Structure 1
């Protein structure tokens, strides 16, 4: 049996939404993250060459009818992945009759490049406004800063490690003054992931203190209640 007659694993995917969590929209700036996830998935199913051709792929042009049919079938399947993971606005913008996967992929890239400068401004503003008080915990806060930093890098506005660490510290509340001072005093600054680890450990320590304080308060209340009850007997 030739390779062209074998069932390709790409065709077994019934719902791409179960594999790629992000849906790309014009309104949010997640193009770079979306592209990374899509490429990883395409690579794992051995169809990356349908969106990013290499020199080797140019040498392996489908020749037989079976090879051409398989290529065409796979290309349509990957095109369906793209259409399923973009917003309706983007879909209507890039949708064209008989378009190939690579043509659709390149149109999305063009849309992103056309808006690169305005997205850079938007991302930078959000990066410097990010504050830990707007997140459930330190981990989510650090994750958002890292995400924004990665997205800025994708629009050629790379943030240095020191800049990311400083912004992380600036966005902390007074409760984290201890770890903020500790990070600032480091020379050189810790790597961003190390600073995030320090912040997370500090948060755990603060949570334990709060729990202990509440426990002591409850015990005191019970003792006072018991003493008050005894004094009235």
Structure 2
């Protein structure tokens, strides 16, 4: 008697569609900056990132004014969205990543969270700075002046 799994074949590839964004292996080659709370480089980071997504034909994942192409499948669209999120995650600091990371978020939602932190949402920045201040241990300083 043959086993049921003897006749099983490998699963089909997830998609045979090709897209230029699938060829990027190291985002740091295109975006050498690491965006973080402390350095005022948001504008430079945005310029590099938008240039990159435009060159790889995925600007529509972060810019709602850019129309979504009709010639790609939903499977490829979701894969590209995950890739754009990985690019964002790979170019921001760990602290910022922990702040903006959201389960099941789209690249657009992730992009907007970052934009809110650096442009529109001063209260989020204040909460972050307050958390950082609260994490400072007073006994790490010899006196109040050093603190």
Give 1:52's aligned residue: 63
The TM-score with structure 1 as length reference comes to 0.43
**Map of 1:69-148 to 2, 5 A cutoff?**
69-113=75-119, 114-115=121-122
2-side partners of 1:61 and 1:44: how far apart? 18
**Map of 1:117-196 to 2, 5 A cutoff?**
none
The TM-score with structure 2 as length reference comes to 0.67
Give 1:18's aligned residue: 29
Per-residue deviation, 1:52: 0.4
1-side partners of 2:44 and 2:19: how far apart? 26
Greater fraction of residues in helix: 1
Q: Tell me if structure 1 keeps the 8 A contact 2:30–2:48.
A: no
Per-residue deviation, 1:96: 1.1
Give 2:18's aligned residue: 7
Structure with greater contact order relative to length (CA < 8 Å, sep ≥ 6)? 2
Give 2:11's aligned residue: none
2-side partners of 1:18 and 1:48: how far apart? 18
Gaps of 5+ in 1: 119-233
Deviations 1:137-159 (A, max 9, x none): xxxxxxxxxxxxxxxxxxxxxxx
Question: Cα–Cα, structure 1 residues 106 and 61, in superposed 2: closer, same or farther, change >3 Å?
Answer: farther
| Secondary structure of 2:75 counterpart | helix
Q: Tell me if structure 1 keeps the 8 A contact 2:17–2:76.
A: no
Deviations 1:60-90 (A, max 9, x none): 568xxx7100000000001000000000010
Structure number with bigger Rg: 1
Gaps of 5+ in 2: 1-14, 126-147
Per-residue deviation, 1:11: 1.1
Per-residue deviation, 1:53: 2.2
User: What's the Cα RMSD here?
Assistant: 2.2
Structure 1 runs of 4+ with >2 Å offset: none
| Secondary structure of 1:109 counterpart | helix
